[in-house]
Amino acid sequence: MLHIMNHAAFDSAPVDRLLSRIGEGHTLMLIENGVYMVKRGSVAAERLERSLSDLTVCVLAPDLAARGITAAEVMARVTVVDFGGFVDLAVDNAVIHSWI
């Protein structure tokens, strides 16, 4: 299952709620302001990092660039994808859930 999130959670409670609803083996795709969640040192990044063994986290490269976040600032084990990669994720997952 592909989960798409376009807003950032800046403290641990919203991240914990999100992660409690995402199953093992699922993919979390962060777009728009959601990319802030993978910036090294953020509370969200620390919480997400603890879940990376169960979850694949991807971010959209153009959204990182638009927010001035460099690849060096992205936490380890996060996959940065372009629009084509995003489309591939959508095609490869029969179920897609968008978090608003």
Tokens of 61: 């490269």
Better-predicted residue by pLDDT, 46 or 72: 72
**Which three-class secondary structure state does DSSP give residue 69?**
coil
At residue 29, the pLDDT reads: 96
All domains of the chain in start order, with CATH: 2-99 (3.40.1260.10)
Give the pairing type, strands 96-99 and 56-60.
unpaired
Q: What is the pLDDT averaged over residues 3-11?
A: 84
Beta carbons of 26 and 2 less than 8 angstroms apart: yes
Instruction: For the chain, report the end-to-end CA distance as a whole number of angstroms.
Output: 17
pLDDT tens, residue by residue, 47-75: 888 777 788 999 999 999 999 999 899 99
Beta carbons of 31 and 5 less than 8 angstroms apart: yes
